[in-house]
Structure 1
Amino acid sequence: MMGRAVDLKSWPRAEQFRLFRTYARPHYAITTRIVVSRLMAEHGERNLSPFRTTLHAIGAGLHAVPELRMRFKGDKVRLYDRLLLSPTIPLENGDFRYTYMAWNPDRARFDRHAAEKIEEVRAGVPLNANDGTVEDVAYLSCLPWLDYTSLDNALPGSDDCIPRVSWGKIVPKGDGHDMAMTLQVHHALVDGLQVARFFEATQAALDSV
């Protein structure tokens, strides 16, 4: 997808964009708790995969916030209508590979597509890392072994503006369950308000499974 050019002359965040482009470390990450009580209550009876259902909810959160679908190269900013989701897929030997999934607002259709892509990876593929040519993507990773409190990602450079979403171990809380989730973004494109809107939309998607 080519995306639509953002006119910096009329974009309200143009001044912030130019400011944070000068930073040596322009990325920041926010971690919060996400409630997954409904998912855990329903997944057995309805055969819901917690991993794939969370992928879909994260996709809903990303697509609810235009700033998370913006990318830049130099002074050119583009807005994409639809993103690919690129989660890490664990292998039985403890290694992992990347895959690329086309997000679909229809959860059942996305779930079937995601299951197929995961099986393709586990059947044997190369690492399949993005070489920088794919912009309309978000990187996702699950850490099911850790109930963490904060997280930071390895980044190839200060101009990398692809959002990273991570989530941790599902743990009991009160009468339900929750888990840590982190969104890491480039401050030239995304402020705290947009991060909050992402978490709200992701939570709403998980509450409606």
Structure 2
Amino acid sequence: MVSTAVDLATWPRAAQFRLFRTYAKPHYAVTARVDVTQVMARKATGLPPYRTCLYAIGAGLHAVPELCMRFRGDAVVQHQMVTLSMTVPTRTGSFGYAYVPYIADFGGFDQEAKRLIDQVANGVALQPNTGERDDLAYLSCMPWLDYTSINNALPGPDDCIPRVSWGKFVDHGGRWDMAMTLEVHHALVDGQQVGTYFAAVQTALDNLTA
């Protein structure tokens, strides 16, 4: 993993970082509706909706430097690239975790994502991250449910890896959308950055399907 240290002496959010590190519950989650009308329109031509969403989430994360930051004790680092780790149903009825590096080129990303996800679906071991890596974002799709809010199981207040969830595609008479949730640590991420993330996800989806 390639990362650089954040200079807390010049970082504008250093005071907020120190404040929210003292909280017992420093995480918050924001759910918004994301338009996937064009994704569904292109599905018939071979655009894979699930992997398209993975790519757009990766684009959103990398559009916001704070979403690529992690703290280690009292220090903060920023990763150049974060790997997307998603739950994958297996053919045996359980699930495992895939680890897909983000690639800015959609064609390259889609090919690598399909290969790595298929490996897990065909029975690769669970492969949970036990804390050895923080250059990750955790992703989970719930295509069975059009939810209104969600939060995730977290091991404790020092976990600063972002979580992204998204739900069922819903048809509103030809316009499709879905719920998407971004859960973050307030020591690193404020509401403005969350808004930038959602805007970047929507832009990525629209540009891929234009």
Report if aligned partners of 2:2, 2:81 keep a CA contact under 8 Å in 1. no
Map of 1:28 onto structure 2 = 28
Map of 1:151 onto structure 2 = 150
Output the CA distance in 2 between the equivalents of 1:11 and 1:127.
Answer: 38
Q: Is 1:37 aligned with 2:37?
A: yes
Normalized against structure 2, the TM-score is what? Answer: 0.97
Map of 1:96 onto structure 2 = 95
Output the CA distance in 1 between the equivalents of 2:142 and 2:42.
Answer: 22
Farther off after superposition, 35-44 or 173-182: 173-182
Cα deviation for residue 79 of structure 1 reads: 0.4
Residue identity opposite 2:94 in structure 1:
D
Aligned residues: 208
Map of 1:105 onto structure 2 = 104
Report if aligned partners of 2:20, 2:187 keep a CA contact under 8 Å in 1. yes
Output the CA distance in 2 between the equivalents of 1:54 and 1:185.
Answer: 19
Cα deviation for residue 107 of structure 1 reads: 0.4
Runs of 4+ in 1 over 3 A off after TM superposition: none
Map of 1:83 onto structure 2 = 82
Q: Is 1:123 aligned with 2:122?
A: yes
The gaps in structure 2 that reach 5 residues or longer are none
Output the CA distance in 1 between the equivalents of 2:35 and 2:86.
Answer: 21
Map of 2:137 onto structure 1 = 138
Secondary structure of the residue aligned to 1:159 is coil
Map of 2:50 onto structure 1 = 51
Cα deviation for residue 118 of structure 1 reads: 1.0
Cα deviation for residue 175 of structure 1 reads: 2.5
Identity rate of aligned residues, in percent?
A: 59
Output the CA distance in 1 between the equivalents of 2:93 and 2:44.
Answer: 26
Normalized against structure 1, the TM-score is what? Answer: 0.97
Output the CA distance in 1 between the equivalents of 2:93 and 2:75.
Answer: 39
The gaps in structure 1 that reach 5 residues or longer are none
Farther off after superposition, 195-204 or 92-101: 92-101
Q: Is 1:5 aligned with 2:5?
A: yes
Output the CA distance in 1 between the equivalents of 2:181 and 2:149.
Answer: 7
Cα deviation for residue 93 of structure 1 reads: 4.3
